Amino acid sequence: MARITAGVATSHVPAIGAALDHGRTAEPYWAPVFAGYDWVKAWEAEEKPDVIILCYNDHATSLMLDVVPTFALGCAEEFAPADEGWGARPVPTVIGHPEFASHLAEQLVLDEFDLTIMNHMDVDHGLTVPLSLMFGQVDEWPVKVIPLAVNVTQFPTPSGNRCWMLGEAIGHAVESYPEDLNVQIWGTGGMSHQLQGPRAGLINPEFDNAFLDGLIDGTDELRKITRLEYLRESGSEGIELIMWLIMRAALGAEVEQLHRFYHVPASNTAVGHVVFRPKGKVETVAEAA
């Protein structure tokens, strides 16, 4: 039986990818950001997940604004890094798991989620930057990935509560897959930031850290945060945090926080990540065998 053994949520700032790709990680501006990910990189190397269900948002690269699915599940064998206007990032092709993805799609549709099935999709920084942060600069990714693209770019977007319900359904769908797989689920995007308009550069550390606190034992309140509240409190792009709710819900009622990092560089976005283990479940597939 497949098991979700951990959940990770992280920012997916495109400038982080550029800093990695151009050898700028040791610069004073960037060094604290990348040092903040040392713990989770070492942890992932020990965990060795088989598959990651990676919740992210496409930034009008593969899913252009003329077709905007609310939830799109990647079922292809592989996903190429997208050209976002200045060439594709120099990172490996993302390898999928079509059999597992098809199982998830079937179960989620039976659970009344009307998914868009993507049999071809290039993936942008929303997906590749988290992989780079967790696994570094590698010749190939050490894990298979099932992309789950969530619309947070064009209204109407799903509510936080709907994302929570999707996460719960994903948790059940994973447990019904017969193959032994060590599965992680990641939520990406956020934290507070706004890229345009009079409030460009908005950062709200109080909101961000309250959200991180709530992921442990205040999830009922997080599910109630409206789209307008995200806009007001965390900026126009802060709504990406709803994808963290998908991750958290898939882990079950209680979690143990293994690690947490929050940093505000002198830019227009806060950077953070958090790592959870489900409580009351075996920690690894190997231990369950």
Q: What is the pLDDT of residues 86-115, one digit of tens each?
A: 899 999 999 999 999 999 999 999 999 999
Higher-pLDDT residue of 286 and 122 is 122
Model pLDDT, residue 286: 43
Model pLDDT, residue 250: 98
57: region left, alpha or beta (phi > 0 left; psi from -120 to 50 alpha): beta
Model pLDDT, residue 267: 65
Distance spanning both ends of the chain, measured CA to CA: 10
Model pLDDT, residue 289: 41
Residue 280 clears pLDDT 70, i.e. is over it: yes
Residue 200 clears pLDDT 90, i.e. is over it: no
- Mean pLDDT across 139-148: 98
Model pLDDT, residue 196: 85
Mean pLDDT of the chain: 94
**Alpha helices (H) in the chain, listed in sequence order:** 14-21, 31-35, 38-47, 98-110, 125-135, 160-175, 205-217, 219-223, 227-234, 242-250, 285-288
Residue 50 clears pLDDT 70, i.e. is over it: yes
CA distance readout (Å), 162 to 79, 134, 211: 26, 28, 17
28: region left, alpha or beta (phi > 0 left; psi from -120 to 50 alpha): alpha
Cα separation of 116 and 127, whole Å?
18
Residue 127 clears pLDDT 70, i.e. is over it: yes
Q: CA triplet 94, 43, 82: central angle to 5 degrees?
A: 20
Q: Is 85 exposed, middle or buried (0-12, 13-18, 19+ CB in 10 A)?
A: exposed
- Mean pLDDT across 236-241: 94
- As annotated, the active-site residues are 125, 193
Cα separation of 132 and 273, whole Å?
14
Model pLDDT, residue 78: 98
State the pLDDT confidence band at 51, using cuts at 50, 70 and 90: very high
**Alpha helices (H) in 150-204, listed in sequence order:** 160-175
Higher-pLDDT residue of 203 and 195 is 203
Residues of the chain with pLDDT > 70: what percent? 96
Handedness of CA 40, 10, 118, 83 (dihedral sign): negative
Model pLDDT, residue 184: 98
Buried b (16+ CB within 10 A) or exposed e, 124-157: bbbbbbbbbbbbeeeeebebbbbbbbbbbbeeeb
- Mean pLDDT across 57-80: 94
State the pLDDT confidence band at 268, using cuts at 50, 70 and 90: confident
Model pLDDT, residue 285: 44
Model pLDDT, residue 266: 62
Cα separation of 35 and 65, whole Å?
36
Residue 284 clears pLDDT 60, i.e. is over it: no
pTM over 0.85: yes
